[in-house]
Structure 1
Amino acid sequence: MNPDNDPQPWQVDTSEYIHQLPWFTVRKDAIRMENGGSIPNYFIFEYPDWVNVVAVTTEGNVVLIRQYRHGIAGVHYELCAGVIDLGEDPLVAAQRELLEETGFGGGNWQPLMTLSVNPGTHNNLTYAFLATGVEPRQAQHLEKTEEITVHVVSPERAREIINNSEMIQALHVAPLLKYLSETPGGPARFSGL
């Protein structure tokens, strides 16, 4: 339920693309607010929607990956994640990404949460899913641009990974933290909570 005094959506006077490539599309809007304020150069980064998966094996362990990320020039733990193809259902995309990146599949799937990397500057959402009872189904099927290692860890180790900042991708920490906080040994086991 939204409060009656919520701010109103901004009005877009003009909108133009500054740059358009598959992984770098920037739009410039001229904004007018209800209170009379205006922003002549408001930049939006356009991306397709994303998915990520908290995958839990039949034994109760968590399936994580590690890969190099050039933006920070480092390797950290992550959840399996990827882009939703045009017209693809988010659940289908999540199941596809888990199978391709880790070789794990099956199990029971449910939505876990929906996130935004930054609602002030990005137009896309990330749909996080919880997959329980997953099992190895095939070898990884990676793209030429992917170098991913798979790590199956206990919930206790997953908590350590979060506590030690070994996973720093916020869109991955949030759903994993939600899952772990709802499992035995939950919130009290996190140093920052």
Structure 2
Amino acid sequence: MQNDPQPWQVESSEYIHELPWFTVRKEAVRMANGGYIPQYFVLEYPDWLNVVAVTTDHQLVLIRQYRHALGAVHYELCAGVIDEGESALEAAKRELLEETGFGGGTWTELMVSSANPGTHTNRTFSFLATGVELRQPQQLEVTEEITVHLVSREQTLEIIEKGEMIQSLHLAPLLKYLLDSRA
């Protein structure tokens, strides 16, 4: 059996751009096998979260919003950034309430994933919230335009099959939930 690959040795590292939503560092790295990469770019982001939310009457809470990079509107899960000093669960509960108005219920961690472990430093924490109820009107930030949609399991599968949800970090936990909850 072969040994697993070993961590790379960082020979130099410098920040080439630093903003809260776009921080990039350039590193020169030496691989354990002797290989050398003089310019390896790493994107630093805060950890993210998303929520598979299911109402007391078994409807999934999905949202739709415009995503400028693709120039399109798709279905998504409620999602956001974990603020400094906030736990992933606290952030998930806050985001669900703000973006959809839904809250309460029973919460469990569903999975942890990475957008791209080759270039991104952050992780995405996915939660399952069952038995959520409408608690308040949405409290959207000025940069958010979000519509809330309650959909059945069957409608959710149709949305996925038709390619109306394309965000991979949302598809993975949603598909995990749908597979785990098959009757």
TM interval, short-chain normalised: over 0.9
For structure 1, the residue ranges without an aligned partner over 5 or more in a row are 186-193
Task: Pick the aligned partner of 1:35 from 33, 36, 39.
Answer: 33
Give SS of 1:30's match: strand
Task: Pick the aligned partner of 2:12 from 11, 14, 21.
Answer: 14
For structure 2, the residue ranges without an aligned partner over 5 or more in a row are none
**Percent of residue pairs identical:** 70
Report the alpha carbon displacement of residue 133 of structure 1 after superposing the two structures with TM: 0.3
User: How is 1:66-85 mapped onto 2 (pairs within 5 angstroms)?
Assistant: 66-85=64-83
> How far does the alpha carbon of each residue in 1:33-78 deviate from its partner, in whole angstroms, 9 at most, with x for none?
1111110100001100000000000011100000000000000000
Two-structure CA RMSD over aligned residues (Å): 1.1
Q: How many residues align?
A: 183
Give SS of 1:101's match: helix
Distance 2:172 2:71 in 1: 22
Q: Report the equivalent of 2:44.
A: 46
Q: Report the equivalent of 1:136.
A: 134
TM-score normalised over the length of structure 2: 0.98
Give SS of 1:178's match: helix
Give SS of 2:57's match: coil
Task: Pick the aligned partner of 1:177 from 175, 178, 183.
Answer: 175
Distance 1:60 1:184 in 2: 13
Q: Report the equivalent of 2:123.
A: 125
Distance 1:101 1:158 in 2: 19
Distance 1:102 1:63 in 2: 8
C-alpha distance 129-4 of structure 1, shift in aligned 2 (>3 A): farther
Report the alpha carbon displacement of residue 5 of structure 1 after superposing the two structures with TM: 1.4
Q: Report the equivalent of 2:61.
A: 63
Distance 2:62 2:31 in 1: 43
TM-score normalised over the length of structure 1: 0.93
After superposing the two structures, state which structure 1 stretch, 4-13 or 123-132, moved more: 4-13
Q: Report the equivalent of 1:157.
A: 155
> How far does the alpha carbon of each residue in 1:73-119 deviate from its partner, in whole angstroms, 9 at most, with x for none?
00000000000001210000000000000000000000000010000
Q: Report the equivalent of 1:97.
A: 95
Report the alpha carbon displacement of residue 4 of structure 1 after superposing the two structures with TM: 7.3
Q: Report the equivalent of 1:188.
A: none
Distance 2:31 2:118 in 1: 15
